Amino acid sequence: MESPDVRYTQSGDAAIAYYVLGEGPRDLVFAPFMLSAVFAFELLPVFRDFCDRLSSFSRLILFDRRGLGASDRPRVRPTLEAHMEDARAVLDAVGSEQAVLFGAGHGGQMCALFAATYPERTSALVLYATRERAPGTDEEYRAELRRVHREFGTREFFERNNYEGYPSLAHDEDFRRAMRAAVRASASPSASVDFLRTYFETDVSDVLPLIRVPTLVLYRPDAGSRAPGPTSAPIAEVEARRLANVIPDARLVPVPGIDVSPFVGADVTNEVERFLDSPHAAVLPDRVLATVLFTDLVASTEHAASVGDRAWRVVLEEHHRAVRRELASCGGIEIDSAGDGFFCRFDGPARAVVCAQRIVDGARELELDVRAGVHTGECEVVGPKIAGIAVATGARISTLAQPGEVLVSRTVRDLVAGSGIEFVDRGEHALKGVPGEWQLFAVEDLGASF
């Protein structure tokens, strides 16, 4: 298969590179772990063969997430949310209204988040070697990041990568040479560390049960069994079974082979084709993953009494204009406003947190105090509005925030990994009318990127 022209589309502040291959009856997006799909297709024959098989039964869409390969590498660490928006921008660019999402590793996490957030644009979901969260301790993460930064691009680095990911090809010199070129083109040492840090910090546990589209979970029970050192095969099987158990009606299929990578052999692509050709019940996207933001002016009655009704109306109108400017800037949607508070919806939590903090800071310039609460969860779509327990949860969180504080749920904290936003643990709280105890966090610092 000849390489098509690389196209670009804009996703926020980043130019995203993509390919379109084949003319099959369905659109299929493939997102690998930490590899440039564009350069891997150009340089790595095993990946090109993999794409050839996928494009035989689909219109295959490949793209480089921001920070990787031919796409822009912004100075800000990319988040899972930003990568999801990169995928949406590419789908818009190629005129795809609905697509199959197929992800491996971190790419699977991104696809899962997309499927839960945009079910109307996801016809099916395929996850390969995907985990809720990366295994290991914080110290192990830090040690791995130091190792990657120190060894990236060296012979030692590639030997380890080949024996762990591609043991059946580890002694193939042509493959080794092509893999070195593809990996070096995919990322720099610092970009690799940034990407891995986001992967290590991200937790999609709360997202997976909210997926409502047909889902296939693939894993190789024998993957890594011939690599030196402890095998990762048992962990891979446990993780795959966990995903299949928490995603409603997911189908779990083991695939033969000793390679961790999905590219080697035709077994993975055969299972994907078989799954997509099988009948699936239609899914009505009446429930979606969404982030809610609630804001409230503190002591507004006292303010009104101190300055008088007319002056208070002027201040309140200025505050409302400022809130709506921030919503427009951050991609939020105003669902409702009552008196001096706002109820807003976002497709991603990082933008909601940034918007909330800007609203709080803007109110301070008007000598007002705003408290805000942010939560991400499953919402029922009711016409132009949303409802459900996630909405009630967000509203209750906002009432616990201190004046001038943005308070968020643990789900929000887990999903904004890589954003540079720092939080302070505020402990567990009971939320009136909401079951269970909820761990809450206050926004401490938005980081230099904001």
User: Is a pLDDT exceeding 50 seen at residue 423?
Assistant: yes
pLDDT per residue as tens digits for the range 277-290: 998 877 767 889 99
Tell me, what's the pLDDT at 160? 84
pLDDT per residue as tens digits for the range 363-406: 988 888 899 999 999 999 888 889 999 999 999 999 999 999 99
User: Is a pLDDT exceeding 60 seen at residue 230?
Assistant: no
Note whether 379 and 338 are within 8 A (CB).
Answer: no
Q: Which residue has the higher pLDDT, 159 or 117?
A: 117
- Report which secondary-structure segment, H or E, holds 19: strand 14-21
Output the CA angle 146-149-152, nearest 5 degrees: 130
Angle between helices 349-365 and 309-330 (to 10 degrees): 150
* Distance from chain centroid for Cα 374: 17
| 417 confidence band (pLDDT: 50, 70, 90) | confident
Tell me, what's the pLDDT at 235? 63
> CB within 8 A of 244, min separation 6: which ones?
217, 250, 251, 252
Query: Token digits for 349?
Result: 């939590």
> Strand 406-409 to strand 370-382: parallel, antiparallel, or no bridges (unpaired)?
parallel
Tell me, what's the pLDDT at 227? 41
Rounded Cα distance between 81 and 234, Å, is 30
Tell me, what's the pLDDT at 420? 83
Statement: 7-277 belongs to CATH 3.40.50.1820: yes
Note whether 216 and 124 are within 8 A (CB).
Answer: yes
Residue written as token pair 């016809």: 123
Rg of the chain taking only CA atoms, in angstroms: 23
Q: Percent of the chain at pLDDT above 90?
A: 65
| 427 confidence band (pLDDT: 50, 70, 90) | very high
Note whether 13 and 78 are within 8 A (CB).
Answer: no
DSSP state of 380: E
pLDDT per residue as tens digits for the range 132-148: 887 777 888 889 899 99
Nearest to 356 by CA among 431, 288, 303, 409: 409
pLDDT per residue as tens digits for the range 296-348: 988 766 766 677 777 778 888 899 999 999 999 999 999 998 778 999 999 99
Tell me, what's the pLDDT at 429? 95
DSSP-H helix ranges across 4-154: 37-43, 45-55, 80-93, 106-117, 138-151
Note whether 421 and 445 are within 8 A (CB).
Answer: yes
Statement: 287-445 belongs to CATH 3.30.70.1230: yes
Q: Is 160 helix (H, G, I), strand (E, B) or coil?
A: helix
Instruction: Give the start-to-end residue ranges of the domains of the chain.
Output: 7-277, 287-445
pLDDT per residue as tens digits for the range 194-208: 888 888 888 999 999
> CB within 8 A of 293, min separation 6: which ones?
332, 342, 343, 344, 345, 346, 352, 355, 356, 372, 373, 374, 394
User: Is a pLDDT exceeding 80 seen at residue 233?
Assistant: no
Mean residue pLDDT across the chain = 89
Note whether 207 and 112 are within 8 A (CB).
Answer: yes
Tell me, what's the pLDDT at 226? 45
Tell me, what's the pLDDT at 224? 57
pLDDT per residue as tens digits for the range 152-179: 888 888 888 888 889 999 889 999 999 9
Mean pLDDT of 232-258: 87
User: Is a pLDDT exceeding 50 seen at residue 57?
Assistant: yes
| 231 confidence band (pLDDT: 50, 70, 90) | very low
